[in-house]
Structure formats: C-alpha cells, structure tokens
C-alpha cells in the first residue's frame, strides 16, 4: 500500500509543473537603463499557475490559429452579426493549448530555461504592469474589462490574406484577445518583452471597451470614411502610443517615449512614432492623405500612425511641460466614456453621431479631451499643442468654425505656437 | 464434429505409439535371460526407468549447452539519431535533430532457458538534443542531455534475427541553457527526473559465421517524460553486439 502511495506521489511529481502561490519570484527580461534588456528578479503578483501562465489578469494560450477570411462560408454573413462566443469559435480555427513554462528553481526563484519561457514570463510581467498602470489611472473605477487579458502566444494570424503575420503584436477586438506572432526578420528586443508595446496593445483593449462599446467591430468602422474614419483609427493608435510610453515610466529604467526603437529596426517608422518627437507636425502630404484616403488606404499607410503621433506628441508635450502627466492620463480615461449630457465622452459622441460622421472632426475630438481636464494650465497647453501639431482650424480662442463656436473647452489664453509650420487653412 | 475430434486425437496419439515402437527396437536382449526378465511387467518397468534416466540426462545436457555454447556474451553498443518532437513551451512541439550513444547488456543471457535468454536486455543511454530560439539581441541556446537506464522485453520473430521490444526506464535530464542578451550571457543548468517508455524493432544479424560478433540495429519510438514536459523521439541506431 505504501509502495502504491509512493508511486502515486512520483507520478504526480512527474506530471505537474511548479505551481507556487502568487506572488511568484521569477526572473524576467526587463528594460535596462542602457536601453536594452537585463535579467532581473520580479514578482508575478496575479499568476495562478506559473506553468500555464494563467492568472486573474493574464491568460496565455499557445499556438492558436486565427483566420479572418471573407471567403470562409462561416464568415460570409459578416462577423459583426455574430456574438462574441460565436466569433471566437469561427475565427480561432485552432484553439491551441496551454503553454508550459519550463523553469529551473534556484533558491526559490524560478529561472526560465528556454527562450519561449523567458519571452512569455516577460510578457506576463509587462501585462501585469500595464494593468497596474490602467488600474491607477482609472482612478477608483475597477478595470474589470482587463481581467483576464487573453494572450494568444505564437499565434498563426491571417487577416484576409494567405500569408501569416510575423514580427507583430496585436490586439484583435473581434476575438477580444492579444496575439504575439512568430519572428521572421525581427532581430532586436522581442515585442513581447517590450513593455511599451504591451502597454500600447493594452491601451487598444481599453479604447475598444470604453470608446467603441466593447464591440468586436463597431458599426462606424464599416460606415464612416475619409476624415472621421481616418481620425478614429489614428486616435486609437495615438492614444495607444501615449499610454504605451506612460507604462514604460513605471520601470526602474525610466520613461521611454521612443519605446518602439528597442524592437523595430526600421528607423523611419521608429522616428515618426516617437511620442517625444518635438517635430511632430502635420505637413501637407499627411494632411492630403488624412482628408482623402479611403479606409483601406488609410489602415495600410504610415500616415495613419503619423497622425496618431501628432496626437500622442501633443499629449506628451502638454503633460511634460506642465508636469501634470498623471492628471492628463486620468483625464484621458474620463474623456473615453462620460455619460454626462453636458460633457459627453468620446463613446457618447460617437454613438450620437453614428449617422452624422461629419461631426467627428479633429476640433471636436480635441475639445472632448480638453473638456475632461480640470487643470487650466494643462487645458491651455493641450489646446496649443493640438492646434499647432494637427493644424486645427482653431488657432486662437474664442474660435469660430463655419460660423459656429468651436473648441469651447479651450481657454482664451491658448494659441497656436510656432514650433510647427502653419499650413494654409482650407 | 465428434468425428473430427476423434481424428485429431488419433493424430496426436500416433507419435506416442511411434515413440514406443522406437523405444522397443534398440534395446538388446542377451542370451542369459533370467526368469524374472521374462516376466513382461517387470521388464517393461525397468525399461521405462532406463528411458526416463536417459531423457533426464539428455535434457540436462541440452540446458547446459544453451548457455555454454552461446557464442555471445551479450554486451554491445550503438549510436543512434533521429527527430525529437520536443514538448514546446509555446504549446505543440518543436521538431529537433537528436543523437546519442548507448551501451546494451543482454542480461537475459543469465537465464538458462533457450527462449527466455533472448528476451531481455537493458540500455544505458545518453541522448542529446538542442534548440536555439530568439533574435540576435536576445536568444537562448538550450541543450538537453537525457541519461537513462531502461530494461526491455523483446519478442523474437521465430528463429529470425529480428525482434520487437517494449522498454521502460528512468533517469535524469540535465538541461543547460545559455541566455544571451546583448552579448552578455547567463548560463543555467538544472536536472529533472526522467521517465521513458517506448517500442521498437531490433535486429541482430551475425557478422561472422560463428555469431560471436553481430550487428545490432534498431528503429524505435521513445517517449521521455521530462518533469511535466513530454518529448517524443523517433530514431534509429546501429552498432555491434558481442
């Protein structure tokens, strides 16, 4: 009998991975002050099972296959008509399986023993840090939509193409999940290990939940076009870059406004997405694209990210110049979703203008953001920054556009600055 | 039905009758027979006892010959290689090349029985597989060294040199990884309990006529339970056995 018990214990030891209770002391690859990465002991505070990397905040699932294909009979009727569960079932063709972290225990600290375990543990830590950031700036509101964040690790993702995405990290609203795709050319810091990138993707989830009503595909993404559509996409990207930068500030290595530089070797892209770029200004080429590009042209064009960068840079500069970055971050979250009839948030404004897209202008969007900032100095700086960098139709206040008062939230002290070349107004 | 059964019984009985005839034939009768010898019952019993004695001697002779005349001492080794489907941390498997060496002891040769002595052997094995993943800036070289002892039960295909076998064993895995971050390397080593099981085909054709040197070759599928990781190895090997 005792032999049988011993055998049973041995069998259990053989089949189970380590599962210490949180917080788990573990090694991860964390940004170093020199700008690359270093091995450092961290604590995973929310992990329930460190082998499968599942916890309250993050859930990893490995090697899934996600296929968005309009030729798929199951998707032919339009995936926006499906429920979340149906959409997941139809689009995630291979449901994958549990990941299995491989560790060596050294004096109670778990050391990843292979590359994917390093990558996943670092990503888990980064998602936890991103969650902590949003938990702070939600300012007392429970960020329940971020629990848990499902991460499709090393996923085969095909979006209306026979070619799988590589070297990418995405938030896919239609499956409400994050995907980390395999490498192909990437030779720098893996995206999953880049805390700014994970912060960026988490921000997409927040934007989708709060602004786009947690819809897999919001109706306006199908019906709007030109400036309203292009602005909405760039706003999503720009705010995500700003929050991505903000998440990096929580690390010992300090704030990284150019966090993409650690992972992308395309210096041009890295440069025009640098949140701290002082030269982030609308030029005529970008403005023409912004006003005239169709949906498909815009989402496949770098101009989408450039306009996003004008938004991110305006926020960054305003927050830095006033020293009120945290006030700004909290105000942004308020601006996402505000039921107040006198001061509606972006969510409410979009909902009220589903059929009147012309109202979704840069001036109105900036006004919504500014109207949720209470600090007068920050308001003024935001209006000046946005006006200058995005070449808004308001350059001083009070402002009249098309015979109507515009950007009422901006104080009269705000004005367009000369760090950007003024473009002729249409 | 009854007739068939009877025919089978008769067929089985015939060799026994034949044996009795043969047994009777070569026993000589001397001229100086006694009165007792002429008593059929006593004569028959004596003859049977003599036959039993002869049979026992013959059996004893055969048994000792099976072990004494075996040309092999039952030790050898081989090298092997193949594809390891390593359990991947990212879910699924990572196909990798592997190779190894093993020492084989046919401990079944300790058993006198001619059939059983071909059925048991044990391997002492080292297997190596490696993987490298990551980017130029961040990458990890992982080296897996499996050390196992595994007895096997072989079922020979009749009198041929081929046999199928099942094998179960245990040992340990020594994992050694080198994590390189921006040209700074961190090394890490650790061991894990290892359990193995598998099946295979094993051939032992003689190289020289007296059978003292044989080639041993194998095709096998082995599963290693490395802690909570399950790796599948498909491989083949070739070597010598003496």
The answer to whether residue B146 neighbours chain A at the CB level (below 8 Å) is: no
Q: Of A231-245, A252-266, B219-233, which one has max mean pLDDT?
A: A231-245
CB count in 10 Å sphere of residue A278:
12
Question: CA B71, CA B201: separation in Å to the nearest integer?
Answer: 22
pLDDT band at B10 (very low <50, low <70, confident <90, very high): very low
Q: Does A19 touch chain B (CB under 8 A)?
A: no
As a whole number of angstroms, the distance between CA A387 and CA A418 comes to 11
Which residue, chain included where needed, has tokens 């007895």?
B151
Chain B touched by A111 (CB under 8 Å): yes
Q: Give contacts of B91 with chain A, Cβ < 8 Å.
A: 61-63, 96-100, 153-154
Contacts B139 to A, Cβ<8 Å: 115
Q: What is the mean pLDDT of residues B26-31?
A: 47
Give me the residues of A, 282-311, that contact B with CB < 8 A: none
- Alpha-carbon span A85 to A177, nearest angstrom: 12
Query: Which of A34, A105, A189 is closest, CB to CB, to B138?
Result: A189
Q: A-B interface: how many C-beta pairs under 8 angstroms?
A: 113
Q: Is residue B168 within 8 angstroms of chain A, CB to CB? A: no
Residues of B in contact with A112 (CB under 8 A): 179
Phi, psi dihedral angles at B184 (to 5 degrees): -100, 125
Least confident of A138-142, A175-179, A327-331, A333-337: A138-142
Q: For the packed helices A376-390 and A362-371, what is the interaxial angle rounded to 10 degrees?
A: 160
| A251 pLDDT above the threshold of 80 | yes
Sequence-ordered alpha helix ranges (H) in chain B:
2-24, 40-68
Element (H, E) at B135: none
**Could A188 and B225 be called an inter-chain contact, meaning their C-beta atoms sit closer than 8 Å?**
no
Q: Given A34, A96, A114, which is nearest B89 (Cβ)?
A: A114
Closest residue in B to A111 (Cα) is B188
Query: pLDDT tens-digit profile of A119-150?
Result: 999 999 999 999 999 999 999 999 999 999 99
Which pLDDT value is given to residue B8? 38
Contact B179 A39 (CB under 8 A): yes
All residues of chain A having their beta carbon less than 8 Å from the beta carbon of residue B196 are none
pLDDT at B44: 66
Q: Which residue of B has its CA nearest to A34?
A: B182
Is the CB of residue B61 less than 8 Å away from at least one CB of chain A?
A: no
pLDDT score, position A8: 47
Q: Do A188 and B195 touch (CB under 8 A)?
A: no
Gap between the Cα atoms of B175 and B193, Å rounded = 11
C-alpha dist (Å) from residue A128 to A98, A253, A255, B155: 19, 17, 17, 56
* Substitution target from A64, A65, A113, A190 for chain B, most B beta carbons within 10 A: A113
| Confidence tier at B232 by pLDDT (50, 70, 90) | very high
Instruction: Flag whether residue A169 sits within 8 Å of chain B, measured between CB atoms.
Output: no
Residue of B nearest to A152 (CA): B90
pLDDT at A186: 77
Residue B36 near chain A (CB below 8 Å): no
Hey, are the CB atoms on B90 and A190 less than 8 Å from each other?
A: no
Residues above pLDDT 70, as percent of chain A: 96
**Segment B93-129, tens digit of pLDDT:** 999 999 999 999 999 988 888 888 889 999 999 999 9
Number of H helices, E strands in chain A: 14, 15
Decide if B195 touches A, using CB distance below 8 A.
yes
Per the CB < 8 Å rule, is B225 touching A39? no
Does the pLDDT of residue B86 top 60, yes or no? yes
By CA distance, what is A181's nearest residue in B?
A: B90
pLDDT at residue number B19? 42
**ipTM of this complex prediction, to 2 decimal places:** 0.84
- What mean pLDDT is predicted for residues A323-339? 97
CB contact A124 to B (< 8 Å): no
Question: How many CB atoms within 10 Å of residue A145?
Answer: 14
B228 touches chain A (CB under 8 A): yes
Q: What is the pLDDT of residue B55?
A: 66
Residue A217's CB: how many other CB atoms inside 10 A? 16
**Phi and psi of A114, rounded to 5°?**
-150, 170
Using the beta-carbon criterion (under 8 Å), do A190 and B92 form an inter-chain contact?
no
Phi/psi at B219 (5° precision): -130, 130
* Per-residue pLDDT tens over the stretch B113-169: 888 888 999 999 999 999 999 999 999 999 999 999 999 999 999 888 999 999 999
A104 part of contact set with chain B, CB < 8 Å: yes
Q: Are the Cβ atoms of A37 and B136 closer than 8 angstroms?
A: no
- Say if B135 is an interface residue toward chain A (CB within 8 Å): yes
Q: How far is B82 from chain A (nearest CA, A)?
A: 22
pLDDT surpassing 60 at residue B35:
no
Task: With CB atoms and an 8 Å threshold, state whether A100 touches B228.
Answer: yes
Listed as own residue / partner, the contacts of B61-64 with beta carbons closer than 8 Å and 24 or more positions apart are: B63/B112, B64/B112
List of residues 6+ apart from A69 with CB closer than 8 A: A75, A158, A160
In a 3-state reduction of DSSP, which class is residue A36?
Answer: coil
């Amino acid at each position: 009998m005792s032999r049988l018990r011993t055998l049973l214990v041995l069998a259990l030891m053989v089949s189970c991975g380590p599962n210490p209770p949180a917080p788990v002391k573990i090694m991860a690859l964390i940004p170093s002050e020199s700008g690359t990465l270093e091995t450092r002991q961290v604590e995973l505070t929310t992990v329930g099972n460190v082998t499968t990397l599942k916890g309250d905040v993050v859930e990893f699932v490995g090697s899934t296959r996600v296929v968005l294909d309009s030729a798929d009979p199951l998707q032919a009727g339009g995936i926006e008509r499906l429920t979340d569960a149906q959409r997941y079932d139809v689009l995630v063709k291979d449901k994958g399986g549990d990941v299995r972290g491989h560790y060596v225990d050294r004096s109670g600290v778990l050391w990843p023993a292979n590359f994917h375990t390093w990558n996943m543990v670092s990503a888990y830590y980064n998602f936890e840090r991103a969650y902590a950031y949003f938990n702070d700036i939600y300012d007392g509101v429970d960020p329940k939509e971020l629990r848990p964040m499902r991460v499709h690790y090393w996923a085969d993702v095909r979006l209306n193409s026979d070619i799988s995405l590589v070297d990418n990290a995405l938030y896919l609203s239609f499956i409400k999940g994050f995907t980390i795709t395999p490498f192909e050319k990437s030779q720098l810091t893996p995206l999953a290990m880049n805390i700014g990138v994970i912060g960026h993707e988490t921000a997409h989830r927040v934007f989708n939940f709060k602004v786009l009503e947690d819809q897999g595909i919001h109706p306006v993404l199908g019906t709007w076009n030109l400036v309203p559509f292009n602005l909405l996409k760039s706003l999503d990207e720009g705010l995500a870059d700003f929050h991505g930068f903000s998440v990096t500030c929580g690390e010992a290595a300090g704030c990284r406004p150019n966090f993409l530089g650690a992972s992308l070797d395309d210096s041009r892209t890295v440069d025009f997405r640098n949140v701290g770029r002082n030269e982030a200004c609308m030029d005529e080429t970008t403005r023409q694209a912004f006003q005239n590009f169709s949906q498909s042209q815009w989402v496949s064009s770098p101009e989408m990210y450039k306009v996003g960068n004008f938004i991110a840079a305006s926020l960054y500069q305003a927050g830095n110049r006033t020293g009120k970055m945290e006030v700004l971050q909290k105000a942004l979250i308020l601006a996402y979703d505000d039921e107040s009839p006198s001061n509606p948030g972006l969510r409410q404004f979009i909902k009220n203008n589903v059929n009147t897209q012309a109202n979704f202008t840069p001036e109105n969007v900036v006004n919504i953001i500014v109207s949720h900032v209470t600090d007068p100095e920050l308001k003024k700086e935001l209006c000046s920054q946005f006006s200058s960098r995005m070449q808004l139709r308001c350059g001083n206040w009070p402002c009249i556009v098309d015979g109507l008062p515009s950007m009422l939230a901006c104080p009269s002290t705000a004005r367009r600055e000369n760090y950007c070349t003024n473009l002729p107004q249409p | 039905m009854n007739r068939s059964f009877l025919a089978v019984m008769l067929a089985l009985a015939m060799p026994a009758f034949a044996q009795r005839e043969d047994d009777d034939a070569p026993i000589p009768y001397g001229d100086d027979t006694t009165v007792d010898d002429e008593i059929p019952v006593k004569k028959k019993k004596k003859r049977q006892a003599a036959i039993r004695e002869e049979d026992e001697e013959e059996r004893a002779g055969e048994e000792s010959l099976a072990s004494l005349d075996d040309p092999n001492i039952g030790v050898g080794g081989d090298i092997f290689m193949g594809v390891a489907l390593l359990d991947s941390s990212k879910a699924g498997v990572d196909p990798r090349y592997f190779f190894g060496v093993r020492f084989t002891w046919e401990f079944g040769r300790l058993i006198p029985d001619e059939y059983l002595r071909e059925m048991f052997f044990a391997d002492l094995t080292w297997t190596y597989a490696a993987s490298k993943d990551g980017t130029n800036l961040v990458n990890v070289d992982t080296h897996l060294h499996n050390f196992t002892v595994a007895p096997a039960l072989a079922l020979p295909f009749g009198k041929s040199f081929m046999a199928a076998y099942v094998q179960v064993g245990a040992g340990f895995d020594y994992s050694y990884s080198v994590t390189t971050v921006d040209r700074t390397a961190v090394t890490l080593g650790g061991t894990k309990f290892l359990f193995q099981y598998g099946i295979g085909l094993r051939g032992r054709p003689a190289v020289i006529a007296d059978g003292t040197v044989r080639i041993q070759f194998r095709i096998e599928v082995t599963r290693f339970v490395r802690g909570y990781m399950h790796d599948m190895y498909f491989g083949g090997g070739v070597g010598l056995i003496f």
